[in-house]
Structure 1
Amino acid sequence: GRSHGIHAEPMSFGLKFALWWDEMRRHKVRLAQTREAVGVGKISGPVGTYASVPPEVEETVCSELGLEPAPVSNQIIQRDRHAQYVQTLALIAASLDKFATEIRALQRTEVREVEEPFGTPGFVTTGSSAMPHKRNPEICERICGLARLVRGHTITALDNVPLWHERDISHSSAERMILPDSSLAVDYILERFTEVVKGMRVYPERMMVNLELTRGLPFSPRVMLALVESGMQRTDAYKKVQGLAMRTWDEGLDFRQLLRNDSEVTDAIGQEHLESLFDYTHFLRYVGHTYKRLGFNVPAKAS
């Protein structure tokens, strides 16, 4: 795991995907709500008074079209409904942007824990025309770019809400652009990201290499808490562990070895307890609980 781009505590790669899955599940609910919001019609006359056509006609026509009559309208269906649709699409696009950005960051040469598909049918086979060695995350980059386009359309959709009196047509020309563009863009990036996930290359060995880069520093919270449990004041425990951690950063030393050599630490928690703190499985012991909460079937050993 990383926060602020810096190694944090270990986590499972599956937990990252569970987070994404849950986010998309919320979007599915939002889409259903948005479908209900935009699934209305009106035939209520020029200003909504049914001066020329009775409400029964509106009800009959809407029923035939699978729409609900708008409870009240003027010359048009109110554009807050359309704005909700575009905003929902923008939220979906923003999530896909987030997911794709994560893959791009994890594909960097210095990290290389995952890669989007490369060289297989339907995917790019050339990373750079000048540098034959390149395997660039071009599909994810494309997803990020199109997500920006969709987010930009939300401003126009909101600007279409305030119209003059019972209607003007300042919204019309803009909607002819933003509604199909947003819909097509989100459909496209959803399809492409699905393909990325299905064909993604995952390198667990590289993940382990990266875990070891900081020479035991991800275990610093466990050491600090163990010192607190032994009776040390939390501020003192924090300063003690932080001081050794900074030496690990600055001098390239091994964090666990520094702890072993520190009598204040070993006197407080003992060598055996200290060694037991450096266990990656500790951080994953509740991952199965999260999966179950999401409704996934998991083996007993994963819980």
Structure 2
Amino acid sequence: MALSLFDTLLSTPDMIAAFDDAALIQAMLDFEAALAAAQADEGLLPRHAAQAIAAACRADRFDIPALVTAGRRSGTLAVPLVKELTRLVAETDQEAASLVHWGSTSQDVQDTAMVLVTHTALRLLDADLAALCRRLLALGESHLATPVLARTLLQPAQVTGFGFKVAGWLAPLVRARARLRAAAGDALQLQLGGAVGTLAVMGERGPAVAHRMAQALDLKTPAATWHTQRDEWVRLGLEVALLTGSLGKIAADLALMAQGEVGELAEPSGGGRGGSSAMPHKRNPVSSMIALAAATRTPQHAATLLAAMGQQHERGLGNWQAELAEWPTLFLSAHGALRALNDAFAGLTVDTARMRANIDALHGLVAAEALSIWVAGAIGRPAAHAAVEKMTQTAVAVGRHLRDVARDAIAADPTLGSLDTNELGALFDPVAATEPAQRLARARLAALKKDIA
């Protein structure tokens, strides 16, 4: 598969190899060898013919660039591949050559080949996804009581626990892993229908041939051909897209927390990683960049899969071909994002002092809601809200800590006399403020841990 330089930068060598031309051609040849063997087992062709066909099914015997060129003229790679395979088989067995690809059709071989390489691609995704889940689990467990600013609409909101934030990153990934496995169980199935999906050439032995082939290729035996019924297949692709979106969310948070003005997290550096061609001081979050680029590209590829579902009659024209072209890109982007974030979290710097400093720099304003609830015990909620709002305005105007402004306001207002100002310290303690988040995160991480192998 030809990729641009920029595509390559956003993926991984392993995933590129999974979908490269040689891998796809070999998968098509594996289909042809399995077809012949299954037909021989069912008595539809001589054993020697199946053996001769299998012996020729080696991608290194084919001129792959020539196949690609010829495939453009014929509209499918299967036509020139079968032609060349037939020629190679004929060198040793003329009878076997006449039985190459017998009873099958071009979409059977191309769909099954894409299923086979996708099987490999999913193993790569699962391994890196499991690794990232384990890293996030360890990070969350070690920072349950670490105070950090929660931010809403990109503005400081309240104090939360960093472990709680990490649990929020982890949960969608654990769900994605489970959904990918379930979707793969449905979608990784043999395609074998013949010209119009009826297996007519093989007659009543067609289903048995399909079953034998599926077993040989370690695929699910389909209930029927799915030439134009793409729902289970597309669902798998969409699950990959959802995973990439979740990775993009983590990358966005990581990049924002790594901004110099925030400085709470930092990706690994050194050895040229994250450097700038013009500014030696920079420490760019390159892992976040890769994951965000992947998440930005993915919706368009997922949309193409959905748009291609309206395939005409028994075989699609144009839409199936568009789906095949888009399919690998989803996996290339997802794996690029996964590998990048694994690199980031493997050497992540967590600056807890900076997290605390960012909280302290807001002079207690992030505890305004807790203060309001406390004051409401004396004067009711509406009046408390108005009173604390006035206190926050004063704190901002004069540059004082909200705790001190509140203490003075309580002393000056007889209606607040029932409040014990000695309790103010606990209201403004960042570590104490993490307690609700700690409870939730501890329970959530324990539940997620059970699902992480």
Q: TM-score, with normalisation over the residues of structure 1?
A: 0.89
Q: Choose the corresponding residue for 2:336, options 182, 188, 211.
A: 188
1:276 aligns with 426
| Structure with greater helix share of residues | 2
Alpha-carbon shift at residue 297 of structure 1 (Å)? 11
Q: Partners in 2 of 1:297 and 1:283 — Cα distance?
A: 24
Alpha-carbon shift at residue 50 of structure 1 (Å)? 3.1
The answer on 1:104 being equivalent to 2:255 is yes
Q: Which runs of 5+ in 1 are unaligned?
A: 299-303
Paired residues of 1:116 and 1:137 also in contact (CA < 8 A): yes
Q: Choose the corresponding residue for 1:215, options 350, 354, 363.
A: 363
The answer on 1:114 being equivalent to 2:265 is yes
2:96 aligns with none
Give the number of equivalent residue pairs. Answer: 293
Letter in 1 for 2:390: G
Letter in 1 for 2:322: A
Alignment of 1:67-146 (within 5 A): 67-73=219-225, 76=227, 78-119=229-270, 121=271, 124=273, 126=275, 128-146=276-294
Q: Percent identity?
A: 26
Where 1:9 maps in the other structure, the secondary structure is strand
Alignment of 1:1-303 (within 5 A): 1-53=150-202, 54-73=206-225, 76=227, 78-119=229-270, 121=271, 124=273, 126=275, 128-230=276-378, 232-262=379-409, 263-264=412-413, 266-286=416-436, 287-295=438-446
Q: Which runs of 5+ in 2 are unaligned?
A: 1-149
Where 1:95 maps in the other structure, the secondary structure is helix
Paired residues of 2:304 and 2:322 also in contact (CA < 8 A): yes
Alpha-carbon shift at residue 266 of structure 1 (Å)? 4.6
Paired residues of 2:294 and 2:337 also in contact (CA < 8 A): yes
1:301 aligns with none
Alpha-carbon shift at residue 261 of structure 1 (Å)? 0.8
Alpha-carbon shift at residue 209 of structure 1 (Å)? 0.9
Q: Partners in 2 of 1:173 and 1:77 — Cα distance?
A: 12
Pair member with larger Rg: 2
Alpha-carbon shift at residue 58 of structure 1 (Å)? 1.6
Alpha-carbon shift at residue 293 of structure 1 (Å)? 3.6
Paired residues of 1:93 and 1:151 also in contact (CA < 8 A): no
Paired residues of 1:259 and 1:266 also in contact (CA < 8 A): no
Paired residues of 1:82 and 1:157 also in contact (CA < 8 A): no
Per-residue CA deviation, residues 239-280 of structure 1 (Å, 9 max, x unaligned), is 111121122234423211110111337514121123332222
Alpha-carbon shift at residue 235 of structure 1 (Å)? 1.1
Q: Partners in 2 of 1:144 and 1:297 — Cα distance?
A: 25
Q: Structure 1 158/294 Cα, relative in aligned 2: closer, same or farther at 3 Å?
A: same
Paired residues of 1:42 and 1:77 also in contact (CA < 8 A): no
Q: Partners in 1 of 2:224 and 2:443 — Cα distance?
A: 45
Q: Structure 1 250/52 Cα, relative in aligned 2: closer, same or farther at 3 Å?
A: farther
- Indicate the larger mover: 287-296 or 248-257: 287-296
Q: Partners in 2 of 1:236 and 1:266 — Cα distance?
A: 11
Q: Structure 1 293/98 Cα, relative in aligned 2: closer, same or farther at 3 Å?
A: closer
Paired residues of 2:228 and 2:309 also in contact (CA < 8 A): no
Q: TM-score, with normalisation over the residues of structure 2?
A: 0.61
Alpha-carbon shift at residue 115 of structure 1 (Å)? 1.0
Alpha-carbon shift at residue 6 of structure 1 (Å)? 1.5
Q: Partners in 1 of 2:324 and 2:191 — Cα distance?
A: 20
Paired residues of 2:267 and 2:344 also in contact (CA < 8 A): yes
Where 1:84 maps in the other structure, the secondary structure is helix
Paired residues of 1:70 and 1:77 also in contact (CA < 8 A): no
2:141 aligns with none
Q: Partners in 2 of 1:280 and 1:110 — Cα distance?
A: 20
- Indicate the larger mover: 281-290 or 100-109: 281-290
Per-residue CA deviation, residues 91-137 of structure 1 (Å, 9 max, x unaligned), is 11111111111111111121111111111x4x6152x2222222221
Where 2:263 maps in the other structure, the secondary structure is coil
Per-residue CA deviation, residues 158-206 of structure 1 (Å, 9 max, x unaligned), is 1111111111231343234322221122112211110100111111111
Alpha-carbon shift at residue 71 of structure 1 (Å)? 2.0
